[in-house]
Structure 1
Amino acid sequence: MPIEVNTPDELKYQFHPTQGACFTFKVRAPNDAHLALTSQPEEADPIYEIFIGGWSNSKSVIRKNRTKPDVVEVETPGILNAGEFRGFWIRWYDNVITVGREGEAAAFMSYDAPDLFPIAFVGVCTGWGANGTWLLDEAQCAAAPPVAMGFSAPSSFGGPGTWVPASNGEVPPNALEGGVDGSEQIYVARAKYEGALIPGKLVPSHGCVYIPWGGAENPVTEYEVLCGASGTWVPVSGDGIPPNCVPAGESETGEPLFLGRASHDGTVTVGKVQASHGVCYIPYGGEELAYSDYEVFVSQ
């Protein structure tokens, strides 16, 4: 159930614990809905602040350590409303902070934060003449499993599980099964390719991960495998990606990419979902194939 929080016109954060890498909420306010991402329940550095509907509800910003200039500033006229709740999400993954509207997978604000610290609390407040009512949905995240001997330290994943580096067809313990090709199990993996970090399918007998990019099925022998993840595959169409769907990579232009899969020619094949395209791209038979009806992986 959502947690209802009321914030007066005083720019004083009320902090709430969070786990994982996605914070979803609704807020009813005329302007200036402020959020703080911190490692402790206090307004102290290091801190990232997100102001939605500031400057008389005309623009939104991301600010680092309470200093100007703002690291991101976008025009968002009328983004808040004093008479109705407006929903939003904030994600932090792979050292990127993104902010988006409920029902929209693409962010309207994004910031590359190479020194991003562990975020354990989110603070909310209102000010500059505004009171606010918030409905908070604080995502919870399971602890990551230990790293198996013989594999490198895992990289962070914005939900249950970790991305474990591997190569040449290796399958780390607790790898997430994503599909099948004939009698062979396919696993969820990702790899760097052409300046992007792209989800794809690991086919152990082929010794590689296949990445959908540029209209082709591209083999990559060094990759990361999603291990120890818990979640479910949810059917969607077009760009209807659930707000709690955690990104698993990003395009060469910085757009979040999600884990998807589709049925093709008797297989269930893992690929990438790019919300702005409204499809899931899967690698198969040397080609990059697009499906508008597919499944996305939603972590629990």
Structure 2
Amino acid sequence: MANVMEVSTPDNLQYQFFPVSSGSVQFKVRAPNDAHIALTMGPQDSEPIYEIMIGGWGNTKSVIRKNKTKPDKVEIETPGILNGGEFRGFWVRWDSGIVSAGREGESIPFISWADPQPFPIGFVGVCTGWGASGTWKIEDAAEFNTPDKLEYKFGPAASGSLEFEYRGPHNCHVCLTPGPAEVDPMYEIILGGWDNSQSVIRHCRQKPDKVTLPTPGLMNPNVFRKFLIEWRCGRLMVRDGFTGGVMMEWVDPQPFPITHFGVRTGYGAQGIWRIKHFFKDGQQPLGPSAPAAAALYSSPPGYPGGAPAVSAMHGGGSGVWMDASGGQVVPGAVVGGQDCSGEPLYIARAQHEGAMIPGKLVASHGCAYIPWGGQEHGKSTYQVLVGGSNNWVPVSGSNVPPGACPGGESEDGEPLYIGRVRHEGSVTTGKVQPSHGVCYIPFGGQELGFPEYEVLMA
């Protein structure tokens, strides 16, 4: 049977997202009007985006919209299509740029549009508004088989965890990768391998394995076994899905961003899988392995969003940079994010190779970190931003808005700005280099670049 998750959406027009691995989603919704579905590349309400609005305008019509711009691509009359007292079933499909929606039990869509410039869809969001709240029952793909071929089937992984059930005689293989392909770097978890006698964690398909655990009789061809794989800040854990106990654990000293998972079977085994792609009602994902801009629009927990960071020596406006060293946090220092441990990260900058580069101050480490040349560089002497605005706005690529807070300059004299992204459970500050179209952050010994980020405004 398929996975079904019940989700409640308040009257606030804010999407709740979950990843999808197929080209369609089926759902039932109970709402008086305005059931909105978003199709996006990532788990955030940002462009590019398709929106299918069912029962809008007082439950009288439905539309398809791209990138929140008007005129709508398609508009049709659908009086009474929704009902606040009963569930109504629908499906949404996307294939080769054709986006369509239809009623449950009907193969012909009631609304459809062909996009001449389509984009890949990895997430679906649902919301209600305009006076309506809703209850949704969302159905993902049904259980599926993996043949005895040792070929991974890939899907997006955005929640920092993967929950699944597997039924097969042995050799349940799961990989975690930075893309939808079998490429390095990658983690592999082999459960019930070697004729169902042991399980391992492997890095980049190399031996010796990082973890080896005797697991005789772990798998059963007649019974589903449930597992949970979690990753955060380089820590990889495999749990028993029924007890929650940790079966295997390994910490990667050089973690990489995980965006996809793959599953396969082999060595004489075929498997049946049930993979849970949903976030529980009201639960946010752990830190996604790729930046999730929507989660960054507010300041980190415990810090007032949008409130100005004012020091005793500066009364607002454009902040000032103060010299510091050895992990010192200057009074009034601006909090830009938080580490995956929950420790606040302050906005800092330091000189390196003739450049002045924005980064992060981790007080407990006794230094600031800046990104440069593909690596994370620790600096015992640095400058901390004190006072000024704590207003962050979402940005994509090189579209740095006027009024962005300057943070330094590259070795070539290019202005650098202060940006931040969510990554592996952290909200990490770094440098925005407009000519590169990305925000670079120092993380796990590396310089990582993200085209979707937030920039600090002056």
Normalising by structure 1, report the TM-score.
0.47
Larger radius of gyration: 2
Higher relative contact order (CA 8 A, sep 6+): 1
